[in-house]
Amino acid sequence: MTTILTAGDLFVRPTHFADAVRAAVADPSALKFTELTSSWPLEPFGPVENVEEASGAVDELIAALQGVEVAVTQMAPFSARVFEACPDLRFIGVCRGGPVNVDIDAATEAGVLVSNAPGRNAQAAAEFAVGLMLAALRHVPPADAELRAGTWRGDYYTWENAGRELGGETVGLVGLGSISRITARILQAFGAVVIAHDPYAEPEPGVELVDLDELLVRSGVVSLHARLTPETHHLINSERLHRMRPGALLVNTARGGLLDHRPLPDLLASGHLGGLALDVYDVEPPPEDWPLLSAPNVVLSPHLAGATRQTAERATEIIAEEVARFLGDAECRHTVNPGARAKARR
């Protein structure tokens, strides 16, 4: 009998994990499930001990992991202390693209394999990025708020205030991973000209790869899709923001740390930056006195790009297949630390 901890939250629930694993394995009767639920997303994720973007208490997780060989989660904090205290653990499935809530070095040293779920929210995030572009380009949020307040903004039909179309516009994608590639295909269907910057990417049909400075100069819309690493932290800084085409729209649905937020209020007020659409922030949630909350031409959403039911279902299905492969002694497809297998405790 293999004991599996389903460490879920209020988006990917423990029952989602358990149902997906039962459907994926050859003999569900050989499994025993226990569960733990964190309060994310009603409480924001954050750093927990030495891991990032995690939710829950380490001591509570350690208690739940006693006698557990397999754990599946989205946000549980698998810090270094967890691996020291849980000698039975052999496998962790993390249903997100980057398992930053797991100390991968500690897992590898302990012989615990870790798999992730790349692409689980790619469709949702791509659709949302394009939705933010449309909302910002066509003044949808302010027009809605003003109409509800009793103001009919007929001046949005004047030449000076009229919106812009995606068709015929040049859209620059910073990063060309799974989300960005879907975004590019959606934009091409609108008739946009799509260019991208990613020094590690393979070509995508219909997308011209360019250097970052060229992308900023040419694009009427710039959308961020890169991973946040030490190399990409504040990739779009003050100097690069000033290189953007005057009046361009900047969209960020990736990670807040890609963007230096400090110059943005002045760039919006001057009109150099024509609009800003954000789903992610350097601090989440942003403080009540954050200048961008009252800045002009800004569309904001609370980190919703991946928030679809299909994302949750897809994520658990990917991880359930990884669990099935692990339990069947097959090679997992999405292991992030294959070196752990040599040390795995059997």
Known catalytic residue at 284 = yes
Candidate list 233, 284, 309, 333, residue with the active-site label: 284
In the chain, the percentage of residues whose pLDDT exceeds 70 is: 99
Cα separation, 117 vs 313, whole angstroms:
11
Contacts of 341 (CB under 8 A, 6+ apart): 111, 113, 335
Domains of the chain in start order, with CATH, are 2-120+308-343 (3.40.50.720), 122-300 (3.40.50.720)
What Å distances lie between residue 312 and 98, 138, 180, 253, 319, CA to CA? 15, 30, 20, 18, 11
pLDDT digits (tens, 9 = 90+) for 6-29: 999 999 999 999 999 999 999 999
pLDDT digits (tens, 9 = 90+) for 100-132: 999 999 999 999 999 999 999 999 999 999 999
Q: Can you give the pTM of this predicted structure?
A: 0.90
Cβ-in-10-Å burial (0-12, 13-18, 19+) of 13 comes to middle
Averaged pLDDT score across all residues of the chain: 95
Candidate list 303, 314, 325, 334, residue with the active-site label: 303
Candidate list 255, 261, 314, 325, residue with the active-site label: 255
* Confidence band for 344, pLDDT divided at 50, 70 and 90: low
Residue 343 is predicted with a pLDDT of 59
Contacts of 49 (CB under 8 A, 6+ apart): 58, 77, 79, 80, 81
Tokens 């698998």 map to which residue?
Answer: 78
Contact of 221 with 248, CB cutoff 8 Å: yes
273: which strand partners? 248
pLDDT digits (tens, 9 = 90+) for 266-312: 999 999 999 999 999 999 899 999 999 999 899 999 999 999 999 99
Residue 77 scores a pLDDT above 70? yes
Known catalytic residue at 255 = yes
Furthest-apart CA atoms within the chain: distance in Å: 71
Known catalytic residue at 303 = yes
Residue 346 is predicted with a pLDDT of 45
Backbone φ and ψ for 88, nearest 5 degrees, come out as: -85, -15
Q: What is the DSSP letter of 330?
A: P
The helix (run of H) or strand (run of E) holding residue 31 is: strand 31-37
Residue 192 is predicted with a pLDDT of 98
Contact of 221 with 252, CB cutoff 8 Å: no
